[in-house]
C-alpha cells in the first residue's frame, strides 16, 4: 500500500461508507471521483501501478497494487471492515471472483460489472447465488438508452423513472418552433399542453426554471412526462414522435449487438458495418434478421454505398471517440439521419459540447449513476432512500427519485408550505402507480416515490430539499 495526496480542490469529507473499488479503468476512475467527493473512504485496487499513482494523486484514496481477487490483497485493502466492494475490471470472471472472495471474508455488500452477452440470461441466477447487491452491464444499458432515443428522433436524451412510467426528455428548441418565444406559464393556454419543464440550458448556463421564464430558440429543455401521455404531448409540441424505421450501426462490438437486438425486436431494420471478418460471422449467427456488412465503416465510399444519405438513423459505435465524432459530423452533413454518438473519454468535453453532435452517450456515467444511487441509499440506512439517479447537463444537475418509506418534515404538508431550497424542483409524485405532476396544493405521503431535480448535488435524503 502506498501513500496518497489530498487534493485541495475537494470538499471536506463527511461521514460515509468504507468502499473498495477494484479496477481503475474508465468506470473505476469515474466512481472514485464521484464517491470520494461525496465523503466516502475509498480504497482502490489495480495491477497497474501507474493508474493507481495517478488516481491517488488526484483523489483522497488509499491504493493497493495487485490482483483484486486475491484474499491477501483484499485483506491489505481492509475488506474485513469494508461496507461495499465494487469490481469493475475488464474481466467479468475476475469481477465475480472478487465479489465472491469479499463476501466470504468480509461482511460487505458487493457490486460487479458483467458485460458478456452469454451471461445476460443468467444475471438473476448469478446475482442470487453469489449474493450480489447489483450486477451492471454497461454495454446493455448504453444500448437501451440509445434505443429509447431512437424511439423519439427529435429528443437529445431520454431518462426513465418510476420503473419506466415517467420519462425526462431533453429537446432543443429550434427557431420558429411553437415553444420559441413563449412563457412557460402560458404553454397550456397557448398550446393546450400540460407539461413540466424541470431544467433549461441557455448560452451554456443551466437553470431550474419557473413559470416566468420565456423560452427562446437554441434553449435546451428537459420535459417531465408520463410514458403513456408522451406521444400526445409531443405531437402537440410538433416534435417528431415516430420511431426510426432503419438504422446503420458502425462497429460490431457488444453495444452494437445489444442495440441491434433492441431495435430488431421493435421492427427496425438494422445494418451493422464491421471490418473484422470473424466478428461478422459471429454477428450473422447471433442476429439473423440484421444485415451484416464486412467493411470499414469509417470510409466515405462504404457509407455512401450502404445508403447513409437516405438512412433514418446512424449510430457510430467504434472504440475510438474521435472516429465516432467525425462519423457523426459526416452523417449530419450528408443526411437527415438521427445520430447518436457514443463517447468514452471525458477529455475536451468543453470542445465536444460545442459541436453539433445531437445526442451523446457517455457509458461510464450510465454505470456510475446506478452505483452512486445505490451507495447513497446504502449510506442513508434505508431512510427515504434514493432509488434512481441521473446526472443531466454535464453533471451540473441531478435528477433523483426518492422512496418515501417513513414520516418526516416533508410528508403530509402541502408543497407550498414547505421551505424548499432554491434550485430544487419536485417534478412528480408516484402514488401507487398514479403519476402526479404536483402543484403547490399537493403533498407527499408515506409510500410515495418522489422525483427531485436540483442543481445542488449530493442529496442522499428527501429532507435535503429543505432549508
Q: How far apart are CA 88 and CA 166, in angstroms?
A: 30
Backbone φ and ψ for 100, nearest 5 degrees, come out as: -65, -45
End-of-domain residue from the set 78, 105, 136 = 136
Predicted pLDDT of residue 347: 67
Helix (H, G, I), strand (E, B) or coil at 189: helix
Cell numbers 472504440 correspond to: 319
- Look at residue 352 in the predicted model and tell me its pLDDT: 74
Evaluate whether 427 touches 453 at the Cβ level (below 8 Å): yes
Q: Around 74, how many Cα atoms within 13 Å sit in the side-chain half-sphere?
A: 28
In a domain, 22, yes or no: yes
So what's the pLDDT on residue 382?
Answer: 56
Residue by residue, pLDDT tens for the chain (467 residues) are: 434 333 333 333 446 899 999 999 989 999 999 898 888 999 999 999 999 999 999 998 999 999 999 999 999 999 999 999 999 999 999 999 999 999 998 889 999 999 988 898 899 999 999 999 999 999 999 999 999 999 999 999 999 898 889 999 999 999 999 999 999 999 988 888 778 999 999 998 999 999 899 999 999 999 999 988 888 889 888 898 888 999 999 999 999 999 999 999 999 999 999 999 999 999 999 999 999 999 999 999 999 999 999 999 999 999 899 999 999 999 999 999 999 999 987 666 667 777 888 899 988 888 888 898 888 888 775 567 788 899 899 889 999 999 999 999 999 999 999 999 999 999 999 999 999 999 899 999 999 999 999 999 889 889 999 99
Residues whose CB is less than 8 angstroms from the CB of residue 42 and which lie 6 or more positions away in sequence, other chains included: 19, 20, 21, 32, 35, 36, 59, 60, 61, 62
> Is residue 346 assigned to a domain?
yes
Domain that residue 62 falls in = 18-136
Residue 106 lies in a domain: yes
- Looking at residue 349, its pLDDT comes to 66
According to the model, what pLDDT value does residue 105 have?
87
Whether 25 and 117 share a structural domain:
yes
- For residues 48 and 73, is the Cβ–Cβ distance under 8 A? no
Using alpha carbons only, what angle is made at residue 373 by residues 318 and 107, rounded to the nearest 5 degrees?
Answer: 105
Cα distance between residue 326 and residue 168, in whole Å: 28
What cell numbers appear for 464 in the block? 435535503
pTM comes to: 0.86
Domain assignment present for residue 354? The answer is yes
- 163 in a structural domain: no
Q: How far is CA 42 from CA 17, 165, 173, 189, 419, in A?
A: 8, 35, 42, 52, 35
Do 252 and 310 belong to one domain?
yes
- Do both 344 and 442 map to the same domain? no
pLDDT of residue 386: 87
Mapping DSSP to helix (H, G, I), strand (E, B) and coil, where does residue 454 land?
Answer: strand
Q: DSSP string spanning 372-408?
A: HHHHHHHHTTTSS-EEEEEEETTTTEEEEEEE--S--
Are both 30 and 132 inside the same structural domain? yes
Cβ atoms of residues 425 and 453 within 8 Å? yes
pLDDT number for residue 164: 87
**Lateral strand order in the sheet of 18-22:** 61-65, 41-46, 18-22, 84-87, 109-113, 134-136
Q: Is residue 404 part of a domain?
A: yes
**314 shares its domain with 352:** yes
CATH of residue 394: 3.30.70.1450
Task: Confirm whether 192 is domain-assigned.
Answer: no
Q: Is residue 161 part of a domain?
A: no
Residue where a domain stops, chosen among 310, 335, 361: 361
* Secondary structure of 94-144 in HEC code, one letter for each residue: HHHHHHHHHHHHCCCEEEEECCCHHHHHHHHHHHHHHCCCEEECHHHHHHH
Structural domains counted in the chain: 3
Task: Identify whether residues 373 and 333 lie together within a single domain.
Answer: no
3 state DSSP class of 321: helix
For residues 256 and 354, membership in a common domain is answered with yes
8 A C-beta contact, residue 373 and residue 346: no
Amino acid 14: pLDDT: 45
Same-domain check for residues 343 and 419: no
Q: Residue 75 is part of a domain; what is its CATH number? A: 3.40.50.720
Amino acid at each position: 500500500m502506498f501513500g496518497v495526496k489530498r487534493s485541495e480542490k475537494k470538499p471536506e469529507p463527511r461521514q460515509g461508507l468504507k468502499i473498495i473499488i477494484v479496477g481503475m479503468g474508465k468506470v473505476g476512475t469515474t466512481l472514485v471521483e464521484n464517491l470520494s467527493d461525496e465523503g466516502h473512504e475509498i480504497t482502490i485496487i489495480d495491477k497497474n501501478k501507474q493508474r493507481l499513482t495517478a488516481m491517488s494523486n488526484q483523489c483522497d484514496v488509499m491504493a493497493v497494487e495487485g490482483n483484486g481477487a486475491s484474499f491477501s490483497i483484499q485483506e491489505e485493502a481492509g475488506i474485513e471492515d469494508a461496507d461495499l466492494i465494487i469490481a469493475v475490471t475488464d474481466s467479468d470472471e475476475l469481477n465475480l471472483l472478487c465479489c465472491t472472495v469479499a463476501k466470504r471474508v468480509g461482511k460487505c455488500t458487493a457490486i460487479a460489472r458483467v458485460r458478456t452477452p452469454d451471461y445476460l440470461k443468467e444475471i438473476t441466477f448469478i446475482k442470487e447465488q453469489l449474493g450480489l447487491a447489483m450486477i451492471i452491464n454497461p454495454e446493455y444499458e448504453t444500448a437501451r438508452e440509445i434505443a429509447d432515443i431512437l424511439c423519439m428522433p427529435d429528443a437529445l436524451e431520454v431518462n426513465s423513472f418510476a420503473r419506466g412510467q415517467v420519462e425526462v426528455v431533453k429537446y432543443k428548441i429550434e427557431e420558429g418552433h411553437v415553444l420559441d418565444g413563449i412563457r412557460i406559464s402560458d404553454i397550456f393556454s397557448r398550446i393546450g399542453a400540460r407539461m413540466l419543464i424541470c431544467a433549461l440550458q441557455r448560452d451554456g448556463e443551466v437553470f431550474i426554471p419557473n413559470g416566468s421564464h420565456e423560452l427562446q430558440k437554441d434553449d435546451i429543455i428537459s420535459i417531465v412526462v408520463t410514458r403513456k401521455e408522451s406521444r400526445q404531448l409531443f405531437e402537440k409540441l410538433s416534435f417528431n414522435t415516430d420511431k426510426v424505421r432503419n438504422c446503420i450501426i458502425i462497429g460490431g462490438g457488444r453495444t452494437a449487438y445489444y442495440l441491434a437486438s433492441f431495435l430488431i425486436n421493435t421492427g427496425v431494420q438494422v445494418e451493422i458495418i464491421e471490418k473484422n471478418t470473424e466478428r461478422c460471422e459471429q454477428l450473422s449467427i447471433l442476429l439473423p434478421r440484421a444485415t451484416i456488412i464486412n467493411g470499414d465503416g469509417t470510409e466515405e465510399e462504404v457509407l455512401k454505398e450502404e445508403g447513409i444519405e437516405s438512412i433514418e438513423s446512424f449510430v457510430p459505435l467504434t472504440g475510438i471517440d474521435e472516429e465516432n465524432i467525425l462519423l457523426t459530423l459526416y452523417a449530419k452533413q450528408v443526411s437527415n439521419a438521427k445520430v447518436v454518438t457514443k463517447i468514452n473519454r471525458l477529455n475536451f468535453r468543453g470542445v465536444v459540447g460545442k459541436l453539433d453532435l445531437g445526442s451523446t452517450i457517455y457509458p461510464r456515467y450510465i454505470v456510475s449513476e446506478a452505483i452512486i444511487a445505490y451507495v447513497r441509499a446504502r449510506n442513508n440506512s434505508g431512510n427515504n432512500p434514493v432509488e434512481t439517479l441521473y446526472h443531466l447537463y454535464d453533471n451540473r444537475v441531478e435528477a433523483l427519485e426518492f422512496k418515501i418509506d417513513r414520516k418526516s418534515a416533508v410528508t403530509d404538508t402541502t408543497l407550498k408550505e414547505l421551505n424548499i431550497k432554491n434550485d430544487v424542483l419536485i417534478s412528480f409524485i408516484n402514488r401507487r402507480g398514479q403519476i402526479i405532476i404536483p402543484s403547490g396544493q399537493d403533498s407527499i405521503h408515506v409510500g410515495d416515490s418522489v422525483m427531485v431535480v436540483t442543481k445542488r448535488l449530493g442529496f442522499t435524503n428527501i429532507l435535503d430539499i429543505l432549508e
